Structure 1
Amino acid sequence: MSNETSAESEKKGVLAGFREFLMRGNVVELAVAVVVGTAFSKIVDAIVKGFINPLVGAIGTQDLDHYSSCLKGSCKIDPTTGEVTEGVALNWGPVLSATLTFVITAAVVYFLMILPMNKYKERQAAKAGPVEVPKTEVELLGEIRDALVAQRTDSDGSVDPVGAGPSAGADASVTPPRSGGVSTEK
C-alpha cells in the first residue's frame, strides 16, 4: 500500500514540476517567439522575393538561385535538369539570398520590435524612479560593526571597556561579591 501512495505522490510531484516548468515565463515567451518568428519569416520571404530579387534581377536574372561562378574551366549546364555537366560551379546566389533574408529579418525585428520595447522599458524605469539595490551580507555586517563601534565610543572619543554598556559611567555602583562581602559604592 505504501508503494502505491509513494508512486501517486511521485506522479503528482512530476506533473506539478512539469506544470511549473511550462508556466515559467521563459518557456511561454520562447513559444510565443517561435510562433511569431515563423509567421514573420513568411513576410520577410515575400519581401525578398517581391522587392529585393527584382532589384537584383535588374542587373541579371531575377532568381538569385541561378547566380554562380565557375571555379575550374568553363561551366556547362544541362538545360533540362539545371545540373552542371562540365567544370566546377560555385553557387553563391543562394548564399546571397539567405544573407539578404537574414539582414532584412534582423533589421525589421530590431527596428520594429526591440528598439520600441527598449524605449518603453526606459520610460517605465524613469517613471518608477531609482531602484534600491539590496545590500550584500558583507555590507550589512560592516554596518553592524560600525554601529557597535559607534555605540561603544564616548562623546569624548574614548572607547568604553568591552562589555560595558552605555550606563557604565562614573556614578555606576559596584555589585556586591557573592561571598557575602561588603558592598562599596563610588
Structure 2
Amino acid sequence: MEALAGKLALVTGASSGIGRETAKLFAQNGAALVLVARRRQALDALSRRGGGSLIFVSSFVGYSAGLPNMAAYVASKAGLIGLTQALASEFGGQGIRVNALLPGGTDTPMGREAANSVEARAWVEGLHALKRLARPEEIALSALYQASDASSFTTGTALLADGGVSISRS
C-alpha cells in the first residue's frame, strides 16, 4: 500500500537536496506532486505523479536558535512557521493540513557551501546531539510522515528533525 495514495503534495525547493529527495520519496509512495524550485532544468529532471499535504521546509534556525550573520535566512524560515500556522487555521476546515519541517544541518549542496572546510563541517556536526549531519533522505522520511495518514490529525506544527541541534549544548 502506498502511504500517500490519493494525496497532493506541494514540494518547494524540489530541484536538489532535501526537496528533491522528498519529491522522489513522495512519488514512490503514490503522491501527486506540485513541484517548485528556482532551477528549472533540475526541476524538469524529476519522474511526475499526483498526491495531498502542504509542508514547508523551514529550519531550527529562527525557531530554536539564532545564528550571527544570517538575519535574512532566519527571518524567512521563521516566517514560514507563521505562514504554516495561519494557513493551517484558514484551511483546516476544508481538510487541508499544513505543517512545517525543521531540519538540522543536512549534507546538501547548500550545506556543503556553508560549511566549506573540514574544520567548518566538524564544527557544524559537533553542534548536533547525534554529532553528524543528516542525509537528505532522512529529512525526506520526516516529510513523508507529515504528508501521510499517520499524521492525519497533525496540522499547524513545526516538526524538528534536527539531530538534536536545538537541544544540544556541547
TM-score category of the 2 structures, normalised to the smaller one = under 0.3
In terms of Rg, which structure is larger? 1
TM-score under structure 1 normalisation? Answer: 0.19
Greater strand content: 2
Higher relative contact order (CA 8 A, sep 6+): 2
Greater helix content: 1
